[in-house]
Amino acid sequence: MKSENRVDLFKDTNFKAFIDRQKELETNSSNLSLAEERKMNAQSMSEYYKERESVNRIVDFEIPGRDNHKIPLRIYIPNATTSLPVMVYFHGGGWVFGSVEEADAVCRRLSNHLGCIIASVDYRLAPEFPFPKPLEDAYEAVKWVSKNTYLFGGDGENVFVGGESAGGNLAGAVALMARDNNGPKLSAQLLIYPVISPFILDEIYDKCPDQYFLTKEAMKYFWSQYIQNEEDLKNPYAALDFSSKLENLPKTLIVTAEYDPLAYDGEKYSSQLQNAKVTVIHKSFAGLIHGFLDITLYEESQKVEWTKEIGELLRKLDVLKRPK
């Protein structure tokens, strides 16, 4: 991480207001059940994103998963063009929070400004469904999308995975699973400020300028909910950096935020992939904190510009088409 401890984010009044609101939400939820906490979180997101970008077409599916479970899937189609690239997207939330509805605003933005179809997966959440259940849902969704792109005008030869935070972890794990199980073939993986390793380094969090939003305690909690078997802490489908073999993975774009404690692991994973001869672009967004594509701290116009920049990087990897 390039940032130094002397950076004082509280000099930004918007940042202070954002953190104060987060603390208020945490206080209000301290005596709530997890179900009630999830509901409050969803209501908060809904209030913020009352106005959302229009998308040409949105279709909801319910697809077969494992354990006789039906996986909700929401497809965002930006225009009537056929054979569009398809990104299977996994929302963030520490594997504990989040849903396709809460991810609706960012998926609309991604679809419109990347110019691709987004298939947003409503995977099961921990702790009710710990590892590997959310990952199984993610992988089953990718297999279904790859076989059924004709239903929504997608290019079956250009399906890739993407996700934010814990969703970035799932995207990376699906890429490993697809390689190890001979498919489906993925054109790329987009890992946006991804969770990579369960081994939390105090020094990284203590030196990070943002010690207020994504805290060390929060990350420990999320991992404890997702991984409930100590042996799984070194399973490469959970801890991506524990894979002894990273060769033959698809082209990769890793996006990190300068003031995010997860940036260290993202940079490290990028280097590991490069050492395995995987084509990788790593982009660090300067001066930003974890979750910058979603959180209320930043303006919608800023998020659109950052999304467009991610699109340009995907075009450099020949994943997305250039607009005519």
The Cα 259–Cα 174 span in angstroms is 27
30 is catalytic: no
Q: CA torsion, points 22, 28, 30, 31, in degrees to nearest 10?
A: -160
Closest CA to 271 of 240, 316, 304: 240
In 3-state terms, the chain is what percent helix, strand and coil (to 5)? 40, 20, 40
Using an 8 Å Cβ cutoff, are 292 and 97 in contact? no
Taking every pair of Cα atoms in the chain, the longest distance, rounded to a whole number of angstroms, is 54
The Cα 265–Cα 204 span in angstroms is 10
The Cα 291–Cα 122 span in angstroms is 19
113 is catalytic: no
The Cα 55–Cα 80 span in angstroms is 11
From the candidates 260, 265, 270, 282, which is the catalytic residue? 260
Q: Taking the CB of residue 4, how many other CB atoms lie within 10 A of it?
A: 9
Omega cis (within 30) before 323: no
From the candidates 91, 113, 282, 290, which is the catalytic residue? 290
The Cα 282–Cα 292 span in angstroms is 16
111 is catalytic: no
From the candidates 165, 197, 243, 284, which is the catalytic residue? 165
Secondary structure E strands in the chain: 57-64, 70-77, 84-90, 117-121, 154-164, 188-192, 251-257, 280-285
- The catalytic residues are 165, 260, 290
